[in-house]
């Protein structure tokens, strides 16, 4: 509907004008929607190219007036529909090339094998992932920002993604187009606390309330704490020491700053990563060295992407006490009334300062800013 967005702009503008909402407090969440495509016939690059070759041969035979013998079950039966099918498969080829290029831009630890990337020829734009029932299928993700002070929807969009990651920034921009305002307070779950999302909140002066790294469903789904290939301890085990501008490991040893660089994240976003190490003399005699790192003799090379909270978010959480943040809703039973942040580690600064480099090699903690 070409006028749908215009109508929403008019409704929100009138609601703000008449005082039904100030459009400054919202809660973002999303859900997956099954695409109109089969989950049983997903194609990788090799299978897609084979089918395109078969279609080209069949279309060439149709143009030459030659009768086709036995053809595959997936191929259209009539020349006109085969030509249409060829167009859809060409779209699928372009989409597959985009997915393969996007996969190559990921970090090595996040990169998939090329043959594992699949799509649906019926709807190549749909992302393939797991839905709410843990079924792998083509799907889309619908995102919403709901007003905490009224029943209005401040922002909405459908993304061809399998998860909520990377949608916070586009949703804030869409809210600005629809209502003419940006949220001052935003509630979300742990899927919206990536470093890139926090940078968006810092740029737009948004106070974000969300659990970092885990939420209420983490234990129910029997998920392990987030670790990586360098350290076996969860990220929350390391404490940020603001006075020293560094981290402290669970045994109390101080990590030393090594370097800072930028890495690419989902959606083409780039974030700063700071590396911290613990001296090998400490790691060698630590009682938890085998629990912490697979190479305790050499000193652990533990990397951990640490999401740093924005200064406004830190101040609000600390003022409420104990890292727990509570926002009473103005609309009864509408929106989210309580957002806990109890397990959030202490934040590192976002002002770009860096501590003086110190020598020492061993356990490294990587933090994004």
State pLDDT tens for residues 70-92: 889 999 999 999 999 999 999 99
Question: What would the pLDDT profile of 52-68 be if each residue is shown by its tens digit?
Answer: 999 999 999 999 988 88
DSSP letter at 354 equals -
In a shared domain, residues 229 and 360: yes
121, 143, 168 - which closes a domain: 121
DSSP bridge pairs for 260: 274
Do the bridges between strand 239-241 and strand 185-187 make them parallel or antiparallel, or are there none, so unpaired?
unpaired
Considering the domain boundaries, does residue 297 fall inside one? yes
Give pLDDT, residue 45: 96
Q: Domain range spanning residue 229?
A: 224-309+344-368
Average pLDDT estimate for 177-201: 92
Predicted local confidence at residue 196, as pLDDT: 83
Identify whether 100 is part of a domain: yes
Cα–Cα separations (whole angstroms), residue 191 to 57, 197, 198, 221: 46, 10, 12, 15
> 109 and 235 in one domain?
no
pLDDT score, position 249: 87
Residue 233 resides in a domain = yes
In whole angstroms, how far apart are CA 27 and each of 40, 76, 153, 192, 206?
35, 46, 10, 11, 12
**Which residues make Cβ contacts (< 8 Å) with residue 265, sequence separation at least 6?**
166, 194, 195, 196, 271
Provide the number of structural domains found in the chain. Answer: 2
In a domain, 50, yes or no: yes
How high is the pLDDT of residue 162? 92
**161 domain residue, yes or no:** no
pLDDT at position 221 is 59
Q: What is the pTM of this model?
A: 0.69
Examine residue 6 and state whether it is found in any structural domain, yes or no.
no
Read off the pLDDT of residues 217-266 as tens digits, 9 standing for 90 and up. Answer: 555 556 665 555 556 777 778 888 888 888 888 888 888 888 887 777 65
């Amino acid at each position: 509907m070409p006028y749908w967005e215009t109508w929403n702009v008019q409704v929100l503008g009138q609601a703000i004008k008449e005082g039904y909402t100030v459009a400054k407090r919202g809660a973002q969440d999303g859900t997956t929607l099954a695409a109109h495509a089969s989950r049983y016939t997903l194609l990788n690059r090799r299978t897609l190219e084979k089918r395109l070759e078969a279609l080209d041969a069949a279309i060439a035979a149709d143009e030459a007036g030659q009768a086709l013998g036995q053809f595959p079950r997936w191929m259209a039966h009539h020349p006109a529909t085969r030509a249409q099918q060829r167009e859809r498969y060409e779209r699928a080829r372009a989409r597959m090339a985009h997915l393969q290029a996007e996969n190559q831009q990921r970090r090595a630890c996040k990169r998939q094998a090329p043959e594992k990337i699949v799509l649906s020829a019926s709807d190549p734009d749909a992302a393939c992932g797991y839905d709410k029932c843990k079924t792998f299928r083509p799907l889309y993700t619908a995102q919403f920002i709901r007003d905490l002070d009224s029943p209005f929807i401040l922002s909405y969009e459908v993304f061809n993604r399998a998860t909520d990651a990377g949608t916070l920034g586009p949703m804030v921009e869409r809210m600005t187009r629809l209502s003419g305002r940006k949220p001052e307070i935003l509630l979300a779950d742990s899927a919206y606390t990536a470093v890139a999302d926090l940078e968006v909140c810092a740029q737009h002066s948004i106070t974000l309330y969300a659990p970092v790294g885990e939420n209420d469903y983490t234990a129910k789904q029997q998920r392990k704490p987030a670790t990586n290939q360098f350290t076996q301890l969860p990220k929350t085990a390391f404490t940020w020491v603001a006075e020293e501008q560094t981290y402290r490991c669970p045994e109390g040893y101080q990590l030393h700053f090594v370097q800072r660089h930028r890495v690419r994240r989902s959606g083409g976003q780039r974030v700063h990563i700071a590396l911290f190490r613990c001296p090998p003399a400490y790691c060698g005699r630590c009682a938890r060295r085998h629990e912490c790192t697979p190479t305790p003799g050499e000193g652990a090379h533990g990397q951990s992407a640490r999401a740093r909270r924005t200064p406004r978010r830190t101040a609000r959480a600390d003022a409420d006490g104990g890292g727990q943040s509570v926002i009473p809703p103005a609309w009864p039973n509408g929106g989210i009334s309580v957002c806990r942040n109890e397990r959030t580690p202490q934040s590192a600064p976002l002002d770009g300062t860096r501590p003086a480099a110190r020598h020492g090699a061993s356990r490294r903690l990587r933090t994004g800013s």
